[in-house]
Amino acid sequence: QSSLTQPASVSGSPGQSITLSCTGSRSDIGDYNSVSWYQQHPGNAPRVLIYDVTNRPSGVSNRFSGSKSGNTASLTISALQAEDEGDYYCSSYTSIDTVLFGGGTKLTVL
Partner 1 sequence: QVQLVQSGSVVKTPGASVKVSCKASDYTFVNNYITWVRQAPGQGLEWLGWVSPHYGHTKYAPKVQGRVSMTTVDTRTAFMELRSLRSDDTAMYYCARGSTTNWFGPWGQGTLVTVSS
When the beta carbons of 79 and 99 are compared against partner 1, the nearer one is 99
Q: Write down the least CB distance from residue 13 to partner 1, Å.
A: 26
When the beta carbons of 38 and 84 are compared against partner 1, the nearer one is 38
Measured from the Cβ of residue 28, the count of other Cβ atoms closer than 10 Å reads 25
> CB under 8 Å to 107, separation ≥6 — which residues?
9, 10, 11, 12, 18, 20, 77, 84, 85, 86, 87, 88
Question: Binding residues for partner 1, per CB under 8 A?
Answer: 3, 33-34, 36, 38, 45-48, 51-52, 57, 89, 91, 93, 97-104
When the beta carbons of 51 and 84 are compared against partner 1, the nearer one is 51
